Amino acid sequence: MDDLQYQLDMLKAVNNKISESERMYKLIVERASLSFIYYSVEKDKYFSMGAFQRFFGFDIKGPKDLDRFFEFFDASKISRIKEIFFSEVFSRNEEAIDVLDSHGEKWYRIICSKIYYGDVLTDKVIKVIDITRDMSRSEELLYMAYYDSLTGIYNRNYFITLLDGYIDRAKENDEKVAILTIDINDFKKVNDGLGMIIGDEFLQQFGGYLKEFQCDRVIASHLSNDIYCLGIYNPYGEYSIERFIEKIRKRLEKPFKMSSGHEVSVCVSFSIAEFPDHAESALDLINCADIAMFKSKTMGNNQIIYFDARMLDEFLHNVDMENKLNSAVLNNNFEVYFQPQFHSGTKKLRGMEALVRWRDEEKGFIAPSVFIPIAEKNGSIIPIGNFVLDNAIKQLAEWEKKYEIDFTMSVNISAVQYKRDDFVDSVIEVIDKYKVDPQNIELEITESVLIEDFEIVTDKLIKLRKRGIKISLDDFGTGYSSLSYLMKMPIDTLKIDKSFVDSALSNDSTHIIIESILNMSSNMGFESIAEGVESEQQYNYLNEIGCNVIQGFYMGRPLPATEIEKILDSKTEV
């Protein structure tokens, strides 16, 4: 009896252990969101397990339930699903298919495993996994690999891949491929004026407009923030570059309406490069168009520029110049020259203008007109400008002490320097360091500086003038000369540009302009300076019509400080 009871207890314990294991496996399978269909070949019966009921809303108990299961999926895949289910072909490998449900909302992976006893098929296990989340992630990664997330058109990398495909086709068929790069001019003003959200919406709308051009011969890309590109296969007839430019310009005649109610109007510049004339690969073709666009930026808005070999030479020259300039800044390879200014009539020294000079080891002196624009573009104008300002004011302090003279030191200030928040403080700091009278310092600015950020710059100039510093408006008459602006400008001096002085004696129109400027300057209480005076005739003419100050080769060339001191030591006229 005891033996029988012992055996019963052991059997019960084993059964309990099996029940616990079955319960554990069931919980694991259901929590793992896995569903199964089990088929016994010997009994010809189907059973569903795991999360099947939760997935599909019913259980598999017979062939009719199988039909319901098949109908749950995309109709175009049902025959393949049945093939996996019912195939009797010997195989120990799993067979799988990824399918959408019939509503196109969820993805499932169906995996069939066959179990054999020897070579005899005994069982099948069909596993169904919900892979919707994985597929969504995969589709998102795929989208990110091909498309620009902001505009929905091709991104730069995939555009290059597709463009290379165009080029391969063109090589086989002896045809052309063109790219049209579109640069939104002054897009920063849209962002700054209306905000980045509206700026982004505009970029989306413009990208959506370009997407309408896409077909088997045209691809569109958002290359960077404000630059788009069209790739065109065999650009002739309806697909000619000129046609696309015409359509884009026509669209830009109307503003883009934002969801906020704002309207955004822009103008654009175009650059064009073609295979095989300009480059043999997509990347090189885009680089050629970039170089052409760089050129168009120097020519103003709304330009159409075709790439040519001379642009590449010019671009490489500029790159070389920029590298040399950066090296010169690091090594402080600059000098300050001084050009004297004289009161007309008396020819008494009024002061000096400080001028930066760069002497390159290979090329000698490089003109400021060559390197200053590059320095303003890459930001090196800040250390260069600080160097000139510091040296000029330091030299003024030394000369005032050594020669006991009282004159004005003029220093040119770049637009980039004026835009810095610390500009006013930095100027006052240098003046205080060398203990010079602020009234002997004159800062020269151009009209374009004022026009770009009139209120901000004007506010800074007012602060400087309150400290006694004089302000001179350089190159007057060559920019945006406007009486309405001039009346509001906190300035002391007008400088007449050399281009007017050059033709003053030979051109009646120039004659009238100069006299008008001098009359206006006098009536508004400004001092007038004529620069670029190179002959006695020019000097006499300007003196006769009332110009206050003369500057130019006729009275004195720009010289280093040591040469200026020789003249000051001799106490002779410069």
The pLDDT of residue 572 is above 50: no
Highest mean pLDDT among 21-30, 96-105, 482-491: 96-105
Considering only CA atoms, which of 342, 351, 384, 357 is closest in space to residue 533?
342
Token output for 478: 């060559």
Task: Decide which of 3.30.420.10, 3.40.190.10, 3.40.630.30, 3.20.20.450 is the CATH code for 325-570.
Answer: 3.20.20.450
Looking at residue 258, what DSSP letter applies? P
Domain 23-134 matches domain 147-307 at the CATH topology level: no
Distance CA 81, CA 100 (A): 12
pTM of structure: 0.60
Q: At residue 556, what are phi and psi to the nearest 5 degrees? A: 170, 130
Helix-then-strand count for the chain, H and E: 22, 22
The pLDDT of residue 213 is above 70: yes
Q: Tell me the CA distances in angstroms from 146 to 150, 155, 413, one per residue in order.
A: 12, 6, 46
Q: Tell me the CA distances in angstroms from 198 to 142, 205, 264, one per residue in order.
A: 28, 10, 9
> Is the bond preceding residue 558 a cis peptide, omega within 30 degrees?
no
221: amino acid identity, one letter: S
Distance CA 90, CA 119 (A): 8
Considering only CA atoms, which of 299, 438, 321, 304 is closest in space to residue 378?
321
Torsion 54-57-61-63 (CA) sign = negative
Per the model's pLDDT, the better-predicted residue between 66 and 317 turns out to be 66
pLDDT for 249: 92
| Topology adopted by domain 23-134 | Beta-Lactamase (3.30.450)
| pLDDT tens digits, 83-140 | 888 877 767 777 888 888 888 778 888 888 888 888 888 888 888 888 777 766 655 6
Q: What is the CB neighbour count within 10 angstroms for residue 203? A: 22
Average pLDDT over residues 529-543: 93
Q: Are 410 and 444 in contact (CB under 8 A)?
A: yes
pLDDT for 573: 45
Per the model's pLDDT, the better-predicted residue between 424 and 151 turns out to be 424
Task: Return the percentage of the chain with pLDDT > 70, whole number.
Answer: 87
| pLDDT tens digits, 447-478 | 767 666 777 888 888 999 999 999 998 877 66
| pLDDT tens digits, 168-206 | 989 989 999 999 999 998 788 888 788 888 888 999 999
pLDDT band at 574 (very low <50, low <70, confident <90, very high): very low
pLDDT band at 390 (very low <50, low <70, confident <90, very high): very high
The pLDDT of residue 18 is above 50: no
The pLDDT of residue 439 is above 90: yes
The pLDDT of residue 315 is above 80: no
Q: At residue 309, what are phi and psi to the nearest 5 degrees? A: -60, -35
**How many residues appear in the chain?**
574
The pLDDT of residue 419 is above 90: no
pLDDT band at 40 (very low <50, low <70, confident <90, very high): confident
Q: Where are the domains of the chain?
A: 23-134, 147-307, 325-570
pLDDT for 45: 85
pLDDT for 8: 56
Mean pLDDT of the chain: 84
Q: Which residues of 229-264 are buried (b: 16+ CB within 10 A; e: fewer)?
A: bbbbbbbeeebebeebbeebeeebeeebebeeebeb
Distance CA 330, CA 315 (A): 23
Average pLDDT over residues 261-276: 90
β-pair partners for 409: 352, 441
pLDDT band at 301 (very low <50, low <70, confident <90, very high): low
Class of domain 147-307: alpha beta
| pLDDT tens digits, 497-528 | 888 899 888 888 888 889 988 998 898 889 99
